[in-house]
Amino acid sequence: MNRIAEISQAEKTIDDFHLGPINIEIKPGTITALVGNNGSGKSTLLKLLMNLAKPDKGNIRISEKLVFGPDESWKTQVSYQPQTVIGWNAFTGNTLKEFISPLYPDWDDSLFTKMAKLFDIPLNKRFGKLSQGVQQKLNLALTVPRNTPLVLLDEPTSFMDIPSKKHFIDLLADWMDDGNRAIVMTSHQSADIMKLADYLYVLQGGKMIGTYEKDELIGSYLQYWMKGEMPALPIPGELSREHQRLITCSPEAAEAFFQENDLTFTSAVPLDLEEIISLLLTERKER
């Protein structure tokens, strides 16, 4: 078996929102980021994986078991950190750990203690009395140490302060060293995606508009500062032009075009991931 999870041809309608068809395969040793505008269906996709919402069409498997089938053994193979948890407010971190840890045979208590210390989480305080950022940290400290092959994180760092984000990213990268684990995360934080993700699945209005290997995606967008007159014709892969700056998603073809047309540029610089994601999402909207 060389996949931890698979979503095939999944579709789900909620009121006037339609998600899908979605196809995703998650392999061990990979971090996948679900990226998209607000309301594009990222959290719904994680809920489908957790069987918290049932697809109208298609199949979803974790460890080759259908998540809505009679065999629920897949539940020990996955941990899920939702954006908000219900029912934890009256309990302290210590009590929550006593509830959760026995459910996971590979629970790593030393990792839990390490995360509590790293994030300065008061484990004797009730969850409902903690700030949003500390609630998020405790939620993660109760998720990652479950040590399941698959971890689903729904915007894990959205309320965290900057140093904590860095600590968390380093910790996740270490945790992935094992090689047999996989993470699927939703995020609006391009720095987190840049540092962690191997693959990006880009959603817009419930549709999967593209799946990308992160380094390939970054390598395929380039911005040029042109010398002299700007070309009258659009250059291959042209996405935007502003003053002397041209952006293309086909750098090789663009440079061949520059040569053929005696055009020169003073510099060529890769785009940062945030700009690439914005272009991917606006490109589609304008079509």
Ligand X SMILES: Nc1ncnc2c1ncn2[C@@H]1O[C@H](COP(=O)(O)OP(=O)(O)OP(=O)(O)O)[C@@H](O)[C@H]1O
Asked if 40 interacts with ligand X (CB under 6 A), we say yes
Asked if 39 interacts with ligand X (CB under 6 A), we say yes
Q: Which helix (H) or strand (E) holds 210?
A: strand 207-213
Beta bridge partners of 282: none
Query: Of 30 and 186, which has the nearer Cβ to ligand X?
Result: 186
Asked if 41 interacts with ligand X (CB under 6 A), we say yes
Sign for the CA dihedral angle at 83, 86, 92, 98 comes to negative
Asked if 8 interacts with ligand X (CB under 6 A), we say no
Asked if 52 interacts with ligand X (CB under 6 A), we say no
Asked if 99 interacts with ligand X (CB under 6 A), we say no
Q: How many residues bind to ligand X according to rule CB under 6 A?
A: 12
Q: Which stretch binds ligand X (CB under 6 A): 35-43, 73-81, 85-93, 131-139?
A: 35-43
C-alpha pair distances (Å), 228 with each of 233, 238, 246: 15, 18, 13
Query: Of 139 and 220, which has the nearer Cβ to ligand X?
Result: 139
The two structure tokens encoding residue 173: 């990268």
Q: Which long-range contacts does 45-50 make (Cβ < 8 Å, 24+ apart)?
A: 45/7, 45/19, 45/186, 45/203, 46/80, 46/82, 46/152, 46/154, 46/184, 46/186, 48/7, 48/10, 48/12, 48/19, 49/5, 49/7, 49/78, 49/80, 49/152, 49/184, 50/78, 50/80, 50/152
Asked if 20 interacts with ligand X (CB under 6 A), we say no
Asked if 190 interacts with ligand X (CB under 6 A), we say no
Query: Of 42 and 97, which has the nearer Cβ to ligand X?
Result: 42
**Interaction mask 157-186, ligand X, x per CB under 6 A:** -----------------------------x
Q: Which stretch binds ligand X (CB under 6 A): 31-39, 101-109, 164-172, 227-235?
A: 31-39
Asked if 225 interacts with ligand X (CB under 6 A), we say no
Is 187:33 a contact under the CB 8 Å cutoff?
A: yes
50 backbone dihedrals φ, ψ, rounded to 5°: -90, 5
Query: Of 183 and 246, which has the nearer Cβ to ligand X?
Result: 183
Query: Of 154 and 255, which has the nearer Cβ to ligand X?
Result: 154
Which residue type occupies 182?
A
Q: Which stretch binds ligand X (CB under 6 A): 12-20, 120-128, 167-175, 262-270?
A: 12-20
Sign for the CA dihedral angle at 26, 209, 273, 34 comes to negative
Using CB under 6 A, list all residues that contact ligand X. Answer: 14-15, 17, 36, 38-44, 186
